[in-house]
Amino acid sequence: MQMNDMVIVSVDDHIVEPPDLFKGHLTGDALASAPQFHTTEANTNHWTYQGKTMASAGLNAVVGRVPEEYGMEPQSLAQMRRGCWDPKARLDDMNVSGVAASMNFGSIGGFDGSACFHCAPDKDMALTHLRAYNDWHIHEWCATDPSRFIPLAILPTWDMDATVAEIKRVADLGCHAVSLTENPTKIDLPSVHSDYWEPMWKALVDNDVTTCLHIGSGNPTPIASMDTPIEAWITTMPMSIAVGASDWLQLEALLKYPELRIFLSESGIGWVPYFMERADYAHSRHKAWTNSGYGGLKPSDVFKRHFMTCFVDDAFGLQSLKHVGEDMVAFETDYPHSDALWPDVPEHLYKTLDCLTDEQIDKITHGNACRWLRHDLFKTYKREDLSVGTLREKAKATGVDTTPISTGGNAPLAEGEAKRRVTSGDIMKMMMKRQEEATEA
């Protein structure tokens, strides 16, 4: 297969929500009490909701910027590519990088909504606004082109009856994926091993809905100390999902509901073969006293049945595909985060696929994702219309500008300070400073 013949679906991209998010879906008091978008005198942006101020982390929207400004830029929509928050512009950016379809996680509410709605004091109000958020995501963002955007909802998991109802409601709207925290105890809910979640497992299966667990949505990504160079932290981020994966692999619901589907979002795949090997070894050595059970299966069998993994750049993982399972791997671009390879996604991906057959390439680039997420990619388009080559020709014809963005940067080191490695503590201080500035404003 030639690079321009590939059809690419990304199962992990992100939205920076626009200011008018709620205006088309709420009125009166419900609209007035919804999360509010603000612009400060310094032209920075933030959101407020029920007494909380939410400053967006710069690393979530650096795509298209000069690499020197990745640290904590940008601080406003005006400093971002329009594709971060405008779905029509996002389609242009998808065309430039040859991406046929994309599933997007939100920002202001966290990947699963917990940073906004779950911690709100007025839960009745939060339920109204969470539902409106899902309506915006489905009826506006994804409706811009239903073949090219894959809907992803968030759930009011503080209320199990409302959660079950919302699963059915969004599934009836054609949304077959939801984003959940990998560790609900972090938001003061019972662990996933509690009976509290039983109605949700059943609702997910009954409504044919896939669960997505994004790195950092519950268990924190590991950091040795504030002196640790930030690259060390970034390096371990994908593998941090292994903690949640191991926890969820022990779910009794996986035995009760063989059709339960779980996406490990932004996980990478190179670590997976050893993870499964280790799980099998641990079970064989300790099952006599741990009372664990997998219904006569090995942990690796259960993992391969229930868990889909995905990658941005993972040549080693692809070379180990026979150990991971060619039906359980999907691709992501991570637009507009700092790992995103935009606009050169096809070039980076293609050079890692020489060890695969054309059939395997089709599975990994789009087939597995569409099957797992119940998305009909070719409902309104022919395959050739969504190939890398065709989409890039479309972008060229419409004159999509890919000129790198620069606003002078927001250096993590103090002015005049000698050049040194940027630490995790430097970035944490910058994030705290921005949060304080937003709160004061």
CATH number of the domain residue 335 falls in? 3.20.20.140
| Domain hosting residue 61, numbered range | 3-440
The encoded tokens of residue 323 equal 């150990």
* Residues 6+ positions from 63 with CB-CB distance below 8 Å: 81, 83, 84, 93, 335, 336, 337, 340, 342
* 3 state DSSP class of 347: helix
Give burial (CB, 10 Å; 0-12/13-18/19+) of 4: middle
Number of domains into which the chain is organized: 1
pLDDT of residue 59: 64
Q: Which long-range contacts (CB under 8 A, 24 or more apart) does 313-316 make?
A: 313/339, 313/341, 313/348, 313/349, 313/352, 314/268, 314/269, 314/270, 314/352, 315/352, 316/270
Closest CA to 109 of 149, 154, 143: 154
pLDDT of residue 57: 64
Which residues partner with 14 through β-bridges?
A: 105
Per-residue pLDDT of the chain (441 residues; tens, 9 = 90+): 999 999 999 999 999 999 999 999 999 999 999 999 999 888 889 999 999 998 766 667 899 999 888 877 788 898 999 999 999 999 999 999 999 999 999 998 889 999 899 999 999 999 999 999 999 999 999 999 999 999 999 999 999 999 999 999 999 999 999 999 999 999 999 999 999 999 999 999 999 999 999 998 998 888 889 999 999 988 988 999 999 999 999 999 999 999 999 999 999 999 999 999 999 999 999 999 999 989 999 999 999 999 999 999 999 999 999 999 999 999 999 999 999 999 999 999 999 999 999 999 999 999 999 999 999 999 999 999 999 999 999 999 999 999 998 887 667 787 788 888 989 888 888 888 777 777 776
pLDDT of residue 101: 98
Query: What is the Cα–Cα distance from 153 to 105, expressed in whole angstroms?
Result: 9
The encoded tokens of residue 283 equal 């079970």
Closest CA to 263 of 313, 344, 348, 204: 204
What b/e readout covers 262-272, taking b as 16+ CB neighbours within 10 angstroms? bbbbbbbbbbb
What predicted TM-score, i.e. pTM, was given to this entire model? 0.96
CB atoms within 10 A of CB 103: 26
pLDDT of residue 417: 87
Which amino acid belongs to residue 6? M
pLDDT of residue 419: 85
Query: What is the Cα–Cα distance from 385 to 381, expressed in whole angstroms?
Result: 6
Q: What is the DSSP letter of 314?
A: -
Using alpha carbons only, give the angle 356, 387, 143 rounded to the nearest 5 degrees.
120
pLDDT of residue 435: 75
Which amino acid belongs to residue 237? M
pLDDT of residue 438: 74
Q: Are 317 and 270 in contact (CB under 8 A)?
A: yes
